[in-house]
């Protein structure tokens, strides 16, 4: 788990020490924290290498990025349900999240040529997105909509999509800019 505290060095140090005590009380170990930028960057490197770590579990696989975002009050429930869902797939799909904003990612390391696996992963992703929407969340917290989630945008924000179509029509009446990509 990675936590980042903002404020003065004294405040950040106090917060880190408090969290370290709480973690130790709950069985946590190997707590590390840093005040210097270069030391923080070393700790955050592990987070940024998350996808590579997932790929190393399945050599030759490719990452499909997915994320959802739910209200923080629903985050634990959503992650627990997602972990239970992952267990039913028989695949290893690590989760990493931004608990401060309710956003989390599931690393879908897949073999795209395996049609059965891709169908399994697509069904999982569909359940993940619908779970987030049912919890008053959003289909994406960070990766954007793109082609893969455009149907969920319509499900989540139908009125907004209609407005987006009007804006696109006004700016691109000949539909030459990314035709058919999202709208």
Give the domain CATH number at 125: 3.30.70.2740
Q: Are residues 139 and 109 in the same domain?
A: yes
**Which residue in 164, 160, 158 sits closest to 183, CA to CA?**
164
Model confidence over 161-178: pLDDT tens digits?
Answer: 899 999 999 999 999 998
Phi and psi at 108, nearest 5°, equal: -90, 90
Give a yes or no: residue 133 inside a domain.
Answer: yes
Dihedral (CA of 22, 23, 29, 31) sign? negative
Model confidence over 35-51: pLDDT tens digits?
Answer: 788 988 888 888 788 88
Average the pLDDT over 131-147 and give the result.
89
Q: How many domains is the chain partitioned into structurally?
A: 2
Q: Are residues 40 and 67 in the same domain?
A: no
Look up the pTM and report it.
0.80
Q: Are residues 64 and 35 in the same domain?
A: no
Find the angle CA(20)-CA(18)-CA(141) to the nearest 5 degrees: 80
Query: Structural domain of residue 65, as residue ranges?
Result: 59-144
């Amino acid at each position: 788990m990675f936590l980042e505290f903002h404020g003065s060095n004294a405040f950040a140090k106090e917060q880190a020490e408090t969290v370290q005590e709480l973690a130790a009380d709950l069985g946590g170990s190997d707590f590390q924290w840093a005040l210097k930028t270069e030391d923080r960057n070393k700790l955050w490197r592990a987070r940024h290498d998350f996808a590579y770590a997932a790929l190393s579990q399945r050599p030759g696989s490719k990452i499909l990025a997915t994320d959802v975002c739910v209200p923080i009050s629903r985050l634990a429930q959503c992650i627990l349900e997602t972990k239970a869902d992952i267990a039913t797939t028989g695949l290893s799909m690590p989760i990493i999240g931004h608990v401060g904003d309710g956003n989390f990612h599931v690393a879908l390391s897949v073999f795209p040529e395996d049609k059965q696996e891709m169908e399994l992963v697509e069904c999982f992703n569909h359940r993940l997105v619908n779970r987030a929407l049912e919890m008053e969340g959003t289909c994406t917290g960070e990766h954007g909509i793109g082609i893969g989630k455009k149907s969920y945008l319509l499900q989540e924000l139908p009125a907004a999509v209609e407005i987006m179509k009007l804006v696109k029509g006004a700016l691109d009446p000949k539909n030459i800019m990314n035709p058919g990509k999202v709208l």
